[in-house]
Amino acid sequence: MQVQQQLTRTWSTLRYRMEYGGYLSNHLLHGVVALFDLGASEEKIEEFAECYSTKLEKAEPSHDDVMQPDVRAKFLKESKLAFESAKGLLGKRQNFDGLLALYAAEVQELGIDKAVKKHLPVLVGGLAGALLHAIIQLGYAYHIGGERLVAEGLTYMHYAYLSFDEPQQVNAEELQEKKTFSRDEAMQLVRMLNGNDFLLNEMSCKLQAKPLVDLEIGGIQKRLSTMSGDPERGSSEAFNLIWDAINAYNLSKMNGVFALDVAFWLYMMIEHNDFVILHAVTSAWALQQVEHLLEPKDHERAWKVWLHVSLSRTRDRHSKVSSRHTKHGAAHETLVSTLKCCGSTQQIVEFDQLFDFCVAAQTEQASTFIANHVGPSAFLMRRTLPKLQPTSTRFEQLKSS
């Protein structure tokens, strides 16, 4: 409860913007929740928050607290914003505060569960927004609790919405016999789609055309957008190709546990670090937190959308993979500063070294290192650390399983 209160009072959008540097997602909530679940001390959590927040953009001093009913009523009256008109803001990355006022009212009037249950069926079709960080924001907020935090998560999903939703089936027949989905099938899909010449050509064309050429978001987000169902940013042919591949499988029983298993498997087994798959792990856990609030049809649809996004990760098979993106080498340049934030003098320069260090040490400090380096999904790894062998044997076990 104390961490939740501090997240609301000190580390929410009351103090810091949801994004910084134009398009980078604020991970403060995710990191704090991860460290809390890892069992880090209050002092360690505060050290992390103080260090991490130095790069965030602070909210203006005159920033309205729309969680206050009187402030919110005045704000909405002056802006003339309602949910009907807010439909036009879906994925436009505009008017975050106005959207927050709307969702804050819903959360306070309906309660957290009912508000999420009401709006998630619409928002989940765009969970790819901000490179999956919007659903991550909602899932981590729901996990720790708090009206403001959950309202911020719903708002971010609306604000950053990027459609990967099921295409409308016009006079189309569903496949009678669908394949069983498994780890091996997921790997086959990755190999089939990765480096696909048609997908690469579609991506290249879209990246050089408007609106993506002028859009101020990250390169990975732009590439993911080209594979989306967005009518302006995405290639409908590429979107449908991947969708048809996914729709050939029976995903009616898919849930958070299975999705996490598949996402971890793919991340550990592909030959290079993949940022989309890495975020698929975190987002699978986040979606798992709220999946019980979805009706069966929307539940299956949500996981189809998640899988579609996770597999839309085309890479030129002939391109050289830089050392920065070798297995577990992503964001290597942030490791030194991260370890400094945690007060470390350890000379650990690669993730494999870091992981093995954590396996051997089993300490709070080691767990804190891994939480800050790999991201919020690390606490899932922490739960399995006692069962894992050092890296050299771990990969052999995975490959033979």
CA atoms within 13 A on the CB side of 384: 12
What pLDDT band is residue 278 in, cutting at 50, 70 and 90? confident
Question: Among candidates 69, 24, 43, which has minimal Cα distance to 368?
Answer: 43
Are 21 and 141 found together in one domain?
A: yes
Range of the domain at 353: 323-400
Q: Among 159, 157, 166, which Cα is nearest to 136's?
A: 157
User: What's the whole-number mean pLDDT along residues 159-170?
Assistant: 88
Last-in-domain residue among 131, 160, 189: 160
Q: 111 and 60: one domain?
A: yes
- pLDDT tens string 179-212: 999 999 999 999 899 879 999 999 999 999 999 9
pLDDT exceeds 60 at position 392: no
Q: Output b/e per residue, 61-94; b: 16+ Cβ within 10 A.
A: eeebebbeeeebeebbeeeebeeeebeebbbebe
Work out the pLDDT band at 362, boundaries 50, 70, 90.
Answer: very low
| DSSP state at residue 105 | H
**35 and 146 share a domain?**
yes
For the segment 279-298, what is each residue's pLDDT rounded down to a tens digit? 999 999 999 999 999 999 99
pLDDT at 320 > cutoff 50: no
Query: Which residues lie below 8 Å from residue 226, measured CB to CB, with a gap of 6+?
Result: 202, 203, 206, 207, 212, 233, 234, 235, 238
Do 30 and 154 share a structural domain?
A: yes
Nearest to 346 by CA among 380, 325, 370, 324: 370
Minimal CA–CA distance to 127: which of 288, 249, 269, 252? 288
The percent of residues in the chain predicted with pLDDT above 70, rounded, is 75
pLDDT score of 77: 92
The answer to the question of residue 166 being in a domain is no
Of 311, 344, 365, the residue that ends a domain is 311
Answer yes or no: is 74 within a domain: yes
Give Cα 126 distance to the centre of its chain. Answer: 11
Q: In terms of Cα–Cα distance, which of 365, 307, 299, 312 is closest to 338?
A: 365
Segment 12-67, tens digit of pLDDT: 999 999 999 999 999 999 999 988 888 888 999 999 999 999 999 999 888 889 99
**Judgement on whether residues 153 and 39 belong to the same structural domain of the protein:** yes
Same domain, 303 and 349: no
Residue 275's pLDDT is 80
CA distance 311 to 43: 39
Question: What is residue 1's predicted lDDT score, i.e. its pLDDT?
Answer: 63
Please state the domain count of the chain: 3
Which one of 103, 128, 160 terminates a domain?
Answer: 160
> Which amino acid is residue 288, in one-letter code?
Q
Residue-wise pLDDT for 53-100, tens only, equals 999 999 988 888 999 999 999 999 999 999 999 999 999 999 999 999
In a domain, 165, yes or no: no
Tokens 């309906």 identify what position? 110
Average pLDDT over the chain, rounded to an integer? 82
pLDDT for res 85 = 96
In a domain, 51, yes or no: yes
Nearest CA to 163 out of 91, 73, 105 is that of 91
Least confident of 11-20, 98-107, 144-153, 271-280: 271-280
Residues 107 and 148 in one domain: yes
For the cut 80, the answer to whether the pLDDT of residue 245 exceeds it is yes
Quick one: tokens of 142?
């729901």
Quick one: average pLDDT of 372-401?
A: 40
